[in-house]
């Protein structure tokens, strides 16, 4: 029994969406951990040296379901 093309397409989209969410969460966790590790680092004016400044540029990752941008 073969899977109809529409079902494969839906399955691929679900997999890509899951991979996109997982990649976004992993990157966010990495940034949070880095900022937390450097939270005590201050300059002479008591300002933090490491801060969150914007969002990363979208990345493309190749998965078994195809390319995923996050």
- Domain positions in the chain are 5-69
**H-run or E-run covering 62:** strand 60-63
Whether the model clears a pTM of 0.75, i.e. scores above it, the answer is: no
pLDDT (tens digit per residue) in 2-34 = 666 666 688 888 888 888 888 889 888 999 999
The tokens of 59 are what? 């990345």
Query: Is pLDDT of 1 > 60?
Result: no
Please tell me which residue, 59 or 70, carries the higher pLDDT value.
Answer: 59
Cα-to-chain-centroid distance, residue 36? 18
Q: Residue 55: name the closest of 34, 20, 31, 22 by CA.
A: 31
Please compute the mean of the pLDDT values over residues 48-53 and round it to a whole number. Answer: 87
Residue keyed to tokens 């004016």: 45
Q: How far apart are CA 30 and CA 39, in angstroms?
A: 14
Please tell me which residue, 57 or 17, carries the higher pLDDT value.
Answer: 17
């Amino acid at each position: 029994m073969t899977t109809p093309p529409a079902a494969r397409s839906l399955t691929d989209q679900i997999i890509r969406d899951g991979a996109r969410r997982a990649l976004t969460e992993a990157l966010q966790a990495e940034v949070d951990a880095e900022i937390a590790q450097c939270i005590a680092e201050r300059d002479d004016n008591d300002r933090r040296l490491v801060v969150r400044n914007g969002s990363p540029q979208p990345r493309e990752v190749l998965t078994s379901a195809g390319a995923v941008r996050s």
